[in-house]
Structure 1
Amino acid sequence: MIILALETSCDETSIAILENKKVLSNITISQILEQQKYGGVMPSLATKLHLKNIQKVLSNALSEAKISPEKIDYIAYTEKPGLIICLQIGKIVAETLSLYLNKPIIPCNHLEGHIYAKFPGLALIISGGHTQIYQLDNHLEFILLGETFDDAIGECLDKSAILLGYNYPGVGRIVSKENKNLNANNLACSLQYTMAEILTKKLKNAWLNSQAKTIIIGGGVIANKFLRDYLTNKIKKWDKKIKIFIPEVKYSTDNAAMIGILAYYKIKLLSSIQY
């Protein structure tokens, strides 16, 4: 089974080709440099850049995977959540390919995709727009246990970076600017540590209630090395038998490979096709 997956929910244009669960290619073009001067993602600019980059990404994904379009069996794309006009780009491209190739189309949830970068277990998603904890008892069965009331962790880090005089994105940045009234270095360190403590506390409460044997942490913010190390070390102290799955950085940020993996399970489990 060959799946072509598209991800355009925010500021990454990404297309992946998968053979069942094996990633043959995962091509992503980020818009960070173009969006920096606005201090965050401007939807209208993001849409223009998706349109500019999508053909190149598609061509490179097919080339790297050494797959011709005719061999594709399914087209998957990110349906929600995300920036509406950005999501529309992926949907239109997916529908066009589906019609042209006469292949089924699989709409996918972006957050479920972050979870399916590694599965199964108790899942913590920390991304630019979402901070959520899910319980996963079976494939495609997601129970939301808790989420932030206001800004997600990623938004807080990015806004803090701007306030301290640094460009978007704030994830993983080392703040060294100081002035007479503020030690920005200490403030940045304290902010990051406090976030890690809160995440650990909430995740541990969820684990104590579920006694999950596997914990998955996904989303763009887990590209932050401090958070990766801090959460990993804390979880290991709860129970040495817990399996911790944190995707590689390239699969932590928005990417089409995770959407392809999610689509694989949706196809396999919902269509009763055996592979």
Structure 2
Amino acid sequence: MIILAIETSCDETSIAILENKKVLSNVTASQIWEQQQYGGVVPDLAAKLHLKNMQKVLKKALTESQIEQKKIDYIAYTEKPGLVICLQIGKVIAETLALYLNKPLISCNHLEGHIYASLLESTKEWKFPVLASVISGGHTQLYYLKKHLDFELLGQTLDDAIGECLDKVSLFLGYTYPGGPVIEKLALRGENTCPLPLTKLNDTFDFSFSGLKTAVRRIIERKKLENNLTRLNINNLACSLQHTLAKILTFKIKKAFNEKKISTVALGGGVVANKYLTDYIQKFLQNETKNVKLFLPQRKYCTDNAAMIGILAYYKIAKAKKAN
């Protein structure tokens, strides 16, 4: 089957074409340079740029895939969650294409797409049950799946997401948005020397990162007052922040292993591009569990993209066909 997928939940205009699970094209127009000056995503600007970029992205996706429009079997799009004004643009384009081509329309959940991104271009399948986590700029959530598409939400952030925490700390330090790559680069030259609070380590699976963000901000402000915000201190603070975030994530994963049967861990979202975090979790799984496979998306599929929506749609279609 040929699936055309559209992703416009935030500031990436993306269209992918898949043949079953194989990615034939995945074209994304990023708005990072336009949004950077505002320190985050401005919804109205994002919507305008989606409209501006959509036609050329669609044309390039079709060209790269070498698929004629009439060969497309399904149109998939991100329905939720995301910026409403941006989601609406993707929905209207998808509905228009589905009507024009007379093809079925598949609505998809953005967060589920991030999780299924770990199966893109993978030769292996998940072994159930699966513990899955979305770690991104807007979300930090933990799910349990006994079978495909059977999502049980175990916990989520009660305030800031991990990515938002990284973005804000980057801005506090005088760097740019997005903050994840900035903090990761600084941390490579630093050491874990700054004690930071391990927030929300209680009996639930929920997360909280606002307290950690505030603690880092106070350290930065104090160092500035002392005229001691040196390059070394900045690097060490970035390294300590990364380490603390990794410990919090691993704490929740360990809690899940203590309470549930788990055969696979699947991670998705922009922050999964951070190698320190994923290496930390991988090391935990190797040391503390037996025969548990960690599934990670390729780096190009960590941030928002339409290929993840396409593969999610593939599994939704397969499930519907099996039910019939």
TM-score clears 0.5: yes
1:193, 1:128 → 2: CA distance?
A: 18
2:150 and 2:243 map into 1 onto residues whose CA distance is 32
The gaps in structure 1 that reach 5 residues or longer are none
Kindly indicate whether residue 57 of structure 2 is the aligned counterpart of residue 48 of structure 1.
Answer: no
Residue 103 of structure 2 corresponds to: 103
Partner of 2:322: 272
Offset from partner CA, 1:15-47 (integer Å, 9 cap, x none): 110111111111111111111100011111111
Aligned amino acid, residue 249 of structure 2: L
Which residue of structure 2 lines up, in the alignment, with residue 130 of structure 1? 139
What is the SS of the residue equivalent to 1:98? Answer: helix
Please tell me whether residue 151 in structure 1 is matched to residue 151 in structure 2: no
Percent sequence identity over aligned pairs: 65
User: Do the aligned partners of 1:8 and 1:50 also contact (CA within 8 Å) in 2?
Assistant: yes
1:73 aligns with 2:73: yes
String of CA shifts for 1:128-168, please: whole Å, max 9, x gaps.
11101100101110000111110000000001100010000
Largest Rg, 1 or 2:
2
Aligned-residue offset at 1:258: 0.8
Equivalent residues in 2 for 1:209-248 (5 A)?
209-248=259-298
AA aligned to 1:150 is D
Q: Displacement, 1:253?
A: 0.8
Aligned-partner SS, 1:138: coil
* In structure 1, C-alpha distance between the alignment counterparts of 2:54 and 2:64, rounded to whole Å: 15
Please give the TM-score of this superposition, normalised by the length of structure 1: 0.95
Asked if 1:195 corresponds to 2:245, the answer is yes
Q: TM-score, normalised by structure 2?
A: 0.81
Which letter maps to 1:151? D
CA contact (8 A) 2:118 2:298 kept: no
Other structure's SS at 2:153 match = strand
1:186 aligns with 2:236: yes
* 2:258 counterpart (208, 224, 229): 208
98-107 vs 168-177, greater mean Cα deviation: 168-177
After superposition, the CA RMSD in angstroms is 1.6
Whichever structure has more strand as a proportion of its residues is: 1
Could you list the per-position Cα deviations for residues 154-208 of structure 1 after superposition, in whole angstroms to 9, with x for gaps in the alignment? 0000011000100000012134898523322222111111111000101111122
Matched to 1:167, the amino acid is T
Question: Larger deviation: 125-134 or 185-194?
Answer: 185-194
Secondary structure of the 2:117 match is: coil
- 3-state SS in 2 of match to 1:241: coil
